[in-house]
Structures are given as C-alpha cells and as structure tokens.
Amino acid sequence: MNVLFALYQNFACNSANHVDGIARELTALGCSCIVAVPSNPTQAELLGSVPYGIATFDQVLAGEIGFDNGRGIDVAHFWTPREVNRRFCERLQGAVDAKPSARRFATIIHMEDNEDLIARSQLRDSLDEYASGQKIAGFPAHLSHPLHWKKFLESADGLTVIIDALRDVIPRDKPVELTWPSTDERNFHPRPVDLALRKELGIKPDHTVLAYHGNVHQANFREVRSLYLAVALLNREGWPTTLLRMGRDHIEVDPLFRRWAAEHTRTVGFVPNRARLAELLSLADVFVQPGLCDVFNQYRFPSKVPDFFALARPVILPRTNIGLVTRHGQDAYVLDEANGPAIADAVKAIAQDEDLRRTLSSGARLFFEANLSWSATAAKILALYRRVLKGRSPVDLAEPTNGDTLNPLQRYSQTKFPPLSYATVRDYCDSADHLNFLCTMNDLKDVQRPWSAKALIGQLKPGGTILEIGAGEPRVAALLQSLGWNAIVCDPYDGSGHGPTDYMRYVKAYPNVRIIRSVFDPSIADVEGFASTPMRGRLDAVYSISVLEHVQAADLEKAFAGIEAALKPGGLSLHCADAVVQGGGAEFHVEQMARILQFQNRLAGDDADWDRSLRSIHELFAAAMQDLDTFFLGPQGHNQWRGSQPFEQFPFRKCISVQFIARKKKDSHAAAGPIDRSSQ
C-alpha cells in the first residue's frame, strides 16, 4: 500500500513527530510511505534517519519524488484540514484526474484541534469577515478556512481523530479511528535525574524542577502563564522551584510574565534534537500540563503529554481530554482546573509525599506502555486504510470485469428472505466475503447495506427503477445501478439524524445515480424519474436502510403514503431498521417496529390490527434474544454512536436490525388513515 502523508508545516512542528512515528511503523508493516511538507524538507534531519520518502508538495505534484514500486498513491492522509492541505489535496486530485489510467486515491483527514477556536484566536474579528465572504484574499494557509474546512471533511473517505470529543465536529457517516499519539522511545524512556546537567544549567540542588517544552501562542498563552504563576507562588511560599522551559514564544508576553520568567525560569529555547530534548526533560521532578476544562482543551491531546508519561515522572493534568481517562492518584495527579494556585498546591502535595511520588512515577510509565504505543496506533490506522479502500464507491474503483459485474446477480438472484426477520451473523459473513465494500461502517449498516442489495437482487430483475429513502452516501444504489437498475436516491442532505450535508460531493461521486434532494413524502411521486415522467405508480421498489426507526409517527404515515403512491402494483417495499431489544429505548422500538410492520401489511392488502403487529414484533425480539446467530451491534459500533457523550448518559444497549419486505397489492391503502393503536 502506498501512503502519502501531508503535513501542514515543516518537520519542526510537533505534528511531525506524530506522523514520523506512524510512518515508521507503517513502513515496518510493509507499506511504502512518503511524508510531504509545504517547504524545507531537509528539516526531516531533526527526526534522525527515516525509512520513508521525504518531499515537498511541489515535488509530489511534479512527479519528482514517487514510490519505489512505481505505482501511484493509494491513500493520502492529510494532517489536519488546514487550508494549505486542502489546496494541496485539490491540486493533487486534479493531477491524478488528468491521467486517464490513474485511479483516484482515498482521502483521510486527521483532526487534532478545535480548528475554529485556533483560527479565532489568531484572526479575531477578521475570521467573521472570511466566514461571511466579505474578505477573500490573504487568509493564512496554516489555519483552517471557515468556509472550506468542514466541506473538506465531508469530501474525505475516512477520518482519524486524536481525541474522542472531536467526533462531535466531524461527519457522522465517515469511517473514523481514534489515534492517540505516542513518542520516540529510543529517546524518551525512564532515567535518573542528571544532577551534573542541572548544575550546568544553574539550577540549585534544593529546587523542585518543573519542565515544559511547548510553544506559546495566542490560543494557549493564558494557560502557560498559569504555569509561570504557579512557580512564582511556590517560591513566594518558601518552596524553591525552577521552571525549565523549552520551546518558542510566538506572541509578545506581558511584563509580569517576563518578570516571573527572569526570576524563576531557565529558558533554553527551541530544542530541535529529540535526544537532547529528552535529556533536558529528564531533569524534571514533576511535569505539568496546565489548562482549564474549556472548549479549547476539550478537543485536543497535548503533544507534550506522551513525552511526560514515557519519562516516568509524576504528571499533573486538568480533568479534560486525556485527563478524563487517567486515574487520579495512580496514572496522574488530575485537577479540576490546572490553574496557578491549583498547580502550586499539587506540586507541594507530590513533593511532600514520597509514596505518592513513587506511585505517580510508576503509574505514568505503566499508562504509557498500556495506552500510548505507535505500533498499536499504526495498526489501527492501517486497518482504517484497508476498510476505506475496500469500501470505495464503484466510480472510484477500476471498471469491473464482466465476471465482477455478473457475480452478485448470479450469486443472489435466487436469494429470498421472509417478510419479517432479523439480521444474522451468517448473512453478515457472506456479505463480508462477497460484498465487503458495503461493510465499512463498523455498525449495523455493515449488515443492513448488503442485506438490502441481496434482497433486492433476489426479488427483482435488472432493468427496473428503484428508489432509496435517506441514503446518505448511496453505496447500495450505486451498486444496483451498475448491475442494471435505474437507481434514484431521495435525501434532504440537511444533516438531520446526524446525516451528511455535502450534497454536491455525492452528485459528483455518483453521476449515474439520480439524486433528489428532498424529504420523502407523497409529493415525491410526482417528481420525474429516469424516463422524464412522474414516478407515480412506476417504481419497482422503494427501500430504506436505517431510516424509518428515526421517523415520528405522523411522518411515518406520510412516508408510507409516498411509498404506496410511487410503487407500481406488485412493487417492493423493503426496509431494515435499527431496533433496541434490551436497554434504554427498547419499549419505543417495539412500538416503532410494530408501526412499520402494520404499514407494510396494509401496503400488501392485509389489514392486520395493532395487537397482531405488536405481538409479531414481541415474538421476533424474543427469538432474536435466544438465537446465537443474531447480529447485534458490537461495542465498537456503540462507542461510535455514543460520540462524546459520557457512557452514563448513553449506556450500552442490545440492538438488532429488523428486516421488512412487502409487495404492493393493487388496491393497497397503506396510509388511508391513522393506524389503530387503541389497545396501546
């Protein structure tokens, strides 16, 4: 696999250490990697001898530096959606598209910060002018443009996030992997304090030493200022303390800040050599990551923290980002707010308690070894790459051979499913073997998408017209279009239900699928289909995947009225829906599945009463709970659904996929009136 990493700055930035660690591990796993930077590629020397290629963006675009195997890019991993990366991606895609025989690469974007807040901290009110379009020229390329970065995320095939909270700000329909950073263990490992080096730097032997090697910029200067304040307070209270400071100041600091620095700080400046940096950091007694539990820190994982843990010293953290998963008093000393006074009190508590100091030192290293490993992170990223490449849409893949195209038709033309059923592991395994490009989400869609395709292939002959309700990315529609059906998608693309919003992306990516940007209701029957005539009474099938469980009762009635109006007599109504069978929401899902079933029965001409529909769902749920072969949503999928919510607010629940199939009778009346729920 050929992987191109694109960094938003040169190799002197902290993110370069992250990319370096991952690229080294991927190379060891058999990948061919190139790390590209906007300029100054020779600064890669800061990272020592590297086993991967180095290039500038222009060298990659010009074809001056490529992969040893002579093939093109399989995956391009852009480290943040900053404007410099977005523009490079556009140029790179244009260069690839200009080559008739080239296959478009998969795009992965890494998120490691609150992009809006960082841009706001540097541009202030000018950001609003760029966001409104009043100002166009001169936007700094090292920041994320307010009009472009979210669309850039929408265009990606997959995403990586450095902290789980970032799931709040990324599209929900993308494959995503949580990737905690690590550090270079060749240099960052436990070692005793070098007293001779302390003396050389002018640090008195009776001083407690704190060390900090982060840069100071507009977004974090207040929290770094609190570290200087803590040191000043400790000295004022008779606790001799020195701050050993590495890194750069990118802003002008205030006079009080400078006075504290002059009195209590040994400033070394930026240390480019990682081996030397590790030596200096090892002089510390305690490490501190200052900060508040605010929106800036919520969405980041400070790059210094893995260095702290690896060196086996007590670490003081605020109760945010990584501080939410470390155990206070064991892995780290966790503060509600790591401000000046709180930091000073924590340093004294650690220094005065030898047992606590030993526990925190060993606990820091144990936490590092258990959780912060480049090899583990690289393995997760490689799995994401493979998942994304397997799930590429048909238009992104090489043209299929006749055998590839005919195989699903031959394999599933005789497949039949009952009118009401639940998804099984057996069916999923078959899909993973033969339709794996539809199994990419790590949730119930991995069994729902291929089941829908197989059920439609087994029930219909190619050549008809089918419509999918609320498709999001129309993978199933694209497959069926390639197999000979006329595929239509109806989706508002308004973000409802955490759905996608990038309508134009899907229009461009799936040019053969007719996409109608609208909510599905009875009026859709009068919209033109493929034959430039209204769809009313002409569709061979209407289907949905993980949609109807989210629809309120009144809107569900409208949806089935639309299905009844659009389908031809004998047309297929096919749906799969998420259903909680145990845990929070189970009662609602029993009733919602019963509503769907009753509408399906009415469409088929069977006026099943509410009690019979409800009883059928209860029996289905009971059978699913007893069946070893039932496909349940796994813990990884649940965690994906949970997003950034605390587990207590979104506890685990057992979820299945309920599958419905019905054919429209000539005189069906699926939505002639409200369904009878008088017995509820």
Q: Of the ranges 97-106, 352-361, 368-377, which one carries the lowest mean pLDDT score?
A: 97-106
The pLDDT, as a whole number, for residue 680 is 37
Per the structure, the complete domain to which residue 276 belongs is given by: 195-371
Which CATH number is 475's domain given?
3.40.50.150
> Would you say residue 344 lies in a domain?
yes
> Would you say residue 679 lies in a domain?
no
Strand partners, 316: 288, 333
Task: Show the 3-state SS of 602-626.
Answer: HHCCCCCCHHHHHHHHHHHHHHHHH
Q: Quick one: 76 and 42 in the same domain? A: yes
Could you give the CA distance from residue 613 to residue 636 in angstroms, rounded to a whole number? 32
Q: Quick one: 348 and 437 in the same domain? A: no
Contacts of 329 (CB under 8 A, 6+ apart): 356, 359, 360
> Would you say residue 376 lies in a domain?
no
Please tell me which residue, 531 or 413, carries the higher pLDDT value. 413
8 A C-beta contact, residue 621 and residue 581: yes
Q: Quick one: 172 and 213 in the same domain? A: no
Could you give the CA distance from residue 599 to residue 588 in angstroms, rounded to a whole number? 17
Reading the block at residue 89, the tokens are 């991606």
> Would you say residue 46 lies in a domain?
yes
Query: How many domains is the chain built from?
Result: 3
> Would you say residue 422 lies in a domain?
yes
The pLDDT, as a whole number, for residue 201 is 95
Which candidate, 258, 270, 265, places its Cα nearest to that of 203?
265
For the stretch 384-435, pLDDT in tens is 998 898 776 444 433 333 334 346 888 898 999 999 999 999 999 999 888 8
The pLDDT, as a whole number, for residue 674 is 44
The pLDDT, as a whole number, for residue 401 is 37
Could you give the CA distance from residue 565 to residue 474 in angstroms, rounded to a whole number? 23
Q: What DSSP assignment string belongs to 329-385?
A: TTTBEEESSB-HHHHHHHHHHHHH-HHHHHHHHHHHHHHHHHH--HHHHHHHHHHHH
8 A C-beta contact, residue 458 and residue 500: no
Q: Among the three residues 371, 404, 430, which one is the final residue of a domain in this structure?
A: 371
Q: Among the three residues 124, 144, 178, which one is the final residue of a domain in this structure?
A: 178
Q: Give 530-533 contacts, CB < 8 A, sequence gap 24+.
A: 530/465, 530/486, 530/488, 531/465
Reading the block at residue 590, the tokens are 């029993």
Q: Quick one: 651 and 533 in the same domain? A: yes
Q: Quick one: 211 and 171 in the same domain? A: no
Strand partners, 241: 208
Could you give the CA distance from residue 177 to residue 382 in angstroms, rounded to a whole number? 10
Which candidate, 175, 172, 119, places its Cα nearest to that of 148?
119
pLDDT of residue 43 exceeding 80, the answer is no
Q: Among the three residues 153, 178, 203, which one is the final residue of a domain in this structure?
A: 178
Please report, to the nearest 10 degrees, the dihedral formed by the alpha carbons of residues 13, 17, 19, 21 taken in order: 170
Tokens 């690289």 correspond to: 378
Please tell me which residue, 19 or 98, carries the higher pLDDT value. 19
Which candidate, 2, 497, 513, places its Cα nearest to that of 505?
513
> Would you say residue 493 lies in a domain?
yes
Which candidate, 447, 450, 500, 439, places its Cα nearest to that of 479?
450
Which CATH number is 142's domain given?
3.40.50
Could you give the CA distance from residue 289 to residue 59 in angstroms, rounded to a whole number? 38
Single-letter amino acid code for the residue at 62: A
Burial of 418 (0-12, 13-18, 19+ CB in 10 A): exposed
For the stretch 302-350, pLDDT in tens is 889 999 999 999 999 999 999 999 999 999 999 999 999 999 999 999 9
Could you give the CA distance from residue 113 to residue 115 in angstroms, rounded to a whole number? 6
pLDDT confidence band for 498 (50 / 70 / 90): low
Tokens 């849409």 correspond to: 393
Could you give the CA distance from residue 151 to residue 506 in angstroms, rounded to a whole number? 12
Mean pLDDT over each residue of the chain, to the nearest integer: 88
Q: Quick one: 141 and 252 in the same domain? A: no
pLDDT confidence band for 444 (50 / 70 / 90): very high
- Number of helices (H), then strands (E), belonging to the chain: the values are 24, 20
Strand pairing of 486-490 and 465-469?
A: parallel
Could you give the CA distance from residue 535 to residue 528 in angstroms, rounded to a whole number? 6
8 A C-beta contact, residue 84 and residue 15: no
pLDDT confidence band for 678 (50 / 70 / 90): very low
Q: Quick one: 6 and 144 in the same domain? A: yes
Contacts of 456 (CB under 8 A, 6+ apart): 466, 480, 485, 541, 543, 572, 574
Sign of CA dihedral 306, 307, 313, 318: negative
pLDDT confidence band for 511 (50 / 70 / 90): confident
Tokens 């607010």 correspond to: 649
Could you give the CA distance from residue 292 to residue 406 in angstroms, rounded to a whole number? 59
Which candidate, 204, 179, 212, places its Cα nearest to that of 313?
212
Q: What percent of the chain has pLDDT over 70?
A: 93
Q: Quick one: 149 and 222 in the same domain? A: no
For the stretch 119-128, pLDDT in tens is 998 898 899 9
Cα 459 to its chain centre, rounded Å, is 36
Phi first, then psi: what are they for 530, rounded to 5°? -75, -30
Cα 147 to its chain centre, rounded Å, is 20
Q: Of the ranges 525-529, 556-560, 632-636, 662-666, which one carries the lowest mean pLDDT score?
A: 525-529
Residue 386, number of CB atoms within 10 A of its CB: 13
Q: Quick one: 199 and 172 in the same domain? A: no
Q: Quick one: 171 and 202 in the same domain? A: no
Q: Quick one: 439 and 318 in the same domain? A: no
8 A C-beta contact, residue 144 and residue 113: no
The pLDDT, as a whole number, for residue 671 is 47
Strand pairing of 286-288 and 265-269?
A: unpaired
> Would you say residue 595 lies in a domain?
yes
Could you give the CA distance from residue 94 to residue 89 in angstroms, rounded to a whole number? 8
Give all strands of the β-sheet with 315-318 in edge-to-edge order: 265-269, 241-246, 208-212, 286-288, 315-318, 333-335
Could you give the CA distance from residue 7 to residue 411 in angstroms, rounded to a whole number? 45
Which CATH number is 304's domain given?
3.40.50.2000
- Which letter does DSSP use for residue 249 in this model? B
Please tell me which residue, 375 or 644, carries the higher pLDDT value. 375
Q: What percent of the chain has pLDDT over 90?
A: 62
Q: Quick one: 356 and 422 in the same domain? A: no
pLDDT of residue 675 exceeding 70, the answer is no
Is the backbone of residue 40 left (phi > 0), alpha (psi -120 to 50) or beta? left
Please tell me which residue, 507 or 421, carries the higher pLDDT value. 421
The pLDDT, as a whole number, for residue 397 is 37
> Would you say residue 382 lies in a domain?
no
The pLDDT, as a whole number, for residue 400 is 36
Outline where DSSP puts E strands in 230-366.
241-246, 265-269, 286-288, 315-318, 333-335
Could you give the CA distance from residue 111 to residue 121 in angstroms, rounded to a whole number? 18
The pLDDT, as a whole number, for residue 421 is 97
8 A C-beta contact, residue 348 and residue 234: yes
The pLDDT, as a whole number, for residue 667 is 62
The pLDDT, as a whole number, for residue 534 is 86
